[in-house]
Amino acid sequence: MIVFLRTPSPRHSVFAFLLAAILIPAAAFAAEDKQAAAPADTDVIVLSNGDTLHGKLVKEVTGKVTFHTDAFGDVDVPWEKIKELHAAESFGIVDNRVHLRRKKNSNQIPVGPIDVTDQGVAVRPANAAAAPAPIPIKSAEYIIDAQTLDTQLNHMPGFFTGWNGGATAGATLVAATQNQYSVSGSLGLVRAVPTVAFLPPRNRTLADFSGSYGKITERAFTVGGVTTPAVTTKSSIFHIDAERDQYLSDRIFALVQTAFDHNFSQDLQLQQIYGGGLGVTLFNTPTHEADVKGTVQYEKQAFISGSSGNQNLIGSTFSANYGMHRKIFTFVQELAYIPAWNNLHAYSVNETDTVTFTTYKNFGLSFGTLDSYLNNPPAVIPPTKRNSFQFTMGLTYAIKSKY
């Protein structure tokens, strides 16, 4: 077999050489520029073991850094596992050694791009000469982006934003010798400004509704020529309240409130309360919170049986609220003692307990009790029982709104 090889002409060799001389360096420069430009648009974390993460710093809360990467999503990394951190966007650093009393102290929060090296957080402000001293990472309790910090410090949420709470609904239906149905529901909303824990509270708005309604009907029947008429038993209870708190300090607040109660089993058509007073936050942590409050108020009671028992009262409400927030459940308890100063017999006591278990995303299963004692129902036949106890169970949807 004979193979003939063709020798390229000198003209073709020169053209190929020139083409390679142009394309190969251009491709190399483009790849180098692409590699250099990628990290410039991202934040960087260097871990203690030498690994490097590229992405975006989200926040840091009490020693846990949240960092977003395209590959892993949001990743939580504790300070002790971080050797270096560099963020190009502006963040505010809250030093736990500095007590922020009011909004006017916000200038004590350094804001700018940050670098974490040698166990310290350094802020790079626009004027490098005015850069503050690095903050030890153990003292950097919160790191929050500048836009969120400005929103929390300088703005108020709109009327329909910033509300958090839950809505619960339940129902029972029985069809037998007696026909029975009952429905119950509740809605609890809280809007605290600001919503972050590291800034002092400015104000808080609360609104609550709970109610149940039901009927048991037994049909008429005739036995031996004697007719027994149909009997209907009704139950109806609802409670509505609203409160506005304005903080005078980190723990003391002034408040105004209103409340409306109806309880068919206690012959109470409507009890109205309008008042104001002072409250104290005993403690407020991510898992526990408690307040105590006292008010002076006008109270009006109207009863179903007639106007003989109706009263206009001057009284007070002394109440305590407690909340426990865990990963799988939330427990809320409210106690209230409501005396009247112009009629010492006209007092009432209420206790509400609710526990909600998280089941799937924003949905949960809720169990609640409402124990109400009214000392002065009017004298009627049959006699009205002063105490009313209600147990409810239903499906709850958690309402979460930010601003």
Alpha helices per DSSP H over 79-156? 146-154
Instruction: Encode pLDDT of 324-333 as tens digits.
Output: 999 899 999 9
Evaluate whether the domain defined by 164-400 bears CATH number 2.40.110.10: no
Q: Are 271 and 260 in contact (CB under 8 A)?
A: yes
pLDDT for the residue numbered 374: 93
Confidence of residue 29 (pLDDT cuts 50, 70, 90): very low
The Cα-based distances of 127 to 123, 130, 227 in angstroms read: 11, 6, 95
Instruction: Encode pLDDT of 101-115 as tens digits.
Output: 655 566 778 888 999
Mean pLDDT of 37-46: 70
Q: Is the pLDDT of residue 35 over 50?
A: no
Structure tokens, 58: 């989200």
CA angle 264, 266, 269 (to 5 degrees): 50
Number of residues that this document lists for the chain: 403
Buried b (16+ CB within 10 A) or exposed e, 264-284: ebbbbbebebebebebebeee
Buried b (16+ CB within 10 A) or exposed e, 60-79: bbeeebebeeeeeeeeebeb
Buried b (16+ CB within 10 A) or exposed e, 364-392: bebbbebebbbbbbbeeeeebeeebebeb
Q: For the chain, how long is the longest CA-to-CA vector?
A: 128
Give Cβ neighbours of residue 297 (< 8 Å, ≥ 6 apart): 257, 273, 274, 275, 276, 314, 315, 316, 317
CA angle 400, 109, 280 (to 5 degrees): 55
Instruction: Encode pLDDT of 165-192 as tens digits.
Output: 999 999 988 888 888 899 999 999 999 9
Question: Model-level pTM?
Answer: 0.77
Beta partners for residue 301, in sequence order: 271, 311
Mean pLDDT of 267-295: 95
Give Cβ neighbours of residue 187 (< 8 Å, ≥ 6 apart): 165, 166, 167, 168, 207, 208, 209, 210
In the block, tokens 């491709």 appear at 27
Most confident of the ranges 138-152, 264-278, 370-384: 264-278
Question: H/E/C letters for each residue in 169-196?
Answer: EEEEEEECCEEEEEEEEEEEEEEEECCC
State what percent of residues in the chain have pLDDT above 90: 54
Domain ranges of the chain: 43-154, 164-400
pLDDT for the residue numbered 26: 45
Q: How far apart are CA 300 and CA 279, in angstroms?
A: 23
Instruction: Encode pLDDT of 208-221 as tens digits.
Output: 999 999 999 988 88
Q: Is the pLDDT of residue 7 over 80?
A: no
In the block, tokens 């077999």 appear at 1
Q: How far apart are CA 321 and CA 199, in angstroms?
A: 22
pLDDT higher at 257 or 266: 257
pLDDT for the residue numbered 27: 45
Q: Is the pLDDT of residue 277 over 90?
A: yes
Instruction: Report the DSSP pairing between strands 387-400 and 140-145.
Output: unpaired
pLDDT for the residue numbered 378: 83
